[in-house]
Structure formats: structure tokens, C-alpha cells
Amino acid sequence: MRLRIIIAISLWSLLAGCGEDNRNKNAVEAVIDQEVARRIQNYKQVRMDRCYEKALEEASRLADSILILEARLERDTLGKPPKPEKPEKPEIKAVLDSTPIKPLLEGEKKSTPIDSLEKN
């Protein structure tokens, strides 16, 4: 009888020791869950950054086009006037007076001093 009890206890301890160890499995699942959560957070952050950059680029493009449109609307629309045409050459009229030309003041000619820089 004693032998049967010893065999039963040893079988029971053997079966209890060979059972599944959930502690290791739970730890691995926790690490996997943490890694998945970290990757999801990283993916969300990358998507938000891309979305922010795209929105900023679109807003910049819209602002530039609005500024260009306002500048075009404020610009003077008359433009430059056309170049004037050249006037016609006037007709040269002949002098009707045919008297010879003579000096206005008659009398002696005054001598003018000779310029020292003038070459003879």
C-alpha cells in the first residue's frame, strides 16, 4: 500500500511538472503586444506627419496663387501708350529778301587777343 501511495504521488508530481507553463507564454504575448502597439503608434505618427506636410504644401500653393491673383488685379491695365509717329520734315522756305548781307555795326574792327593755346 505504501508503494502505491509513493507511485501515485510521484505520478501526480510528474504530471503537474509536465503541464503547460503559462508564465512564459504570457510574457511573450505581452512583449508582442507592446511591439505591435509601438509600431501602430509609429505608423500613425508617420501618416500624420505626411498629412501635415501635404496640407502645408497645399496651403502654401493656395496662398501663392491668391497673392499672384491679387497682384494681377491691382496692376495697371492701361498699359503703355503707343509710340508717337515721327513728324514730317518741314518745308524750307526761300528768303524773299535778296539784299546782300552786311555787318550790323559799321566801323573799325577791334583786334581780339590771340589765344595762347591756339596753334597757328
What is the per-residue pLDDT across 88-104, written as a single tens digit (0 to 9) for each?
988 888 777 777 777 77
Q: Which domain holds residue 63?
A: 46-70
What is the per-residue pLDDT across 32-88, written as a single tens digit (0 to 9) for each?
999 999 999 999 999 999 999 999 999 999 999 999 998 888 887 777 888 989 989
CA distance 49 to 55: 10
Q: Is residue 51 part of a domain?
A: yes
Q: Is residue 115 part of a domain?
A: no
* Residue keyed to cell 505608423: 43
pLDDT higher for 56 or 12? 56
Q: Is residue 10 part of a domain?
A: no
Q: Is residue 14 part of a domain?
A: no
The reply to whether the predicted model has a pTM over 0.75 is no
Question: How many structural domains compose the chain?
Answer: 1
